[in-house]
Structure 1
Amino acid sequence: MSGALLNTHDPFFNLALEDHLLHNTREEYFLLYVNDPSVVVGRHQVIFREVNIFEAE
């Protein structure tokens, strides 16, 4: 298992890197990072049930 401390705070980059490593390598990775304030919603989640839209604005 490899570990990495990412210096980026970009949630788009961090999630894209996770997806790339998951689907394109066989090695296991342990990633540490802190995203800028953001709301990340999964593919099968209903945003209106998971996120208070008024609070998020």
Structure 2
Amino acid sequence: MTKRLTRKEQFDRSKINMHDLRQVRCWTHVLGVSREQLRKAVEKVGDSAVTVRKELGIPEE
């Protein structure tokens, strides 16, 4: 089976990859925070989406 080039790849929603602009845009939108707020939270607690949510005071979905 071949991969479709037009299909966007899904990313691991349990981690926040600050080096992937598409993910950063998605996470800032979902969490309702700025890129800088997201960056600081990831720097402080790591890239786990659960711990970043806790750091930002945002309940899990």
Structure with greater strand share of residues: 1
**Length-normalised TM-score, structure 1:** 0.28
Greater RCO (CA < 8 Å, at least 6 residues apart)? 1
**Length-normalised TM-score, structure 2:** 0.27
For the pair shown, the structure with the greater C-alpha radius of gyration is 1
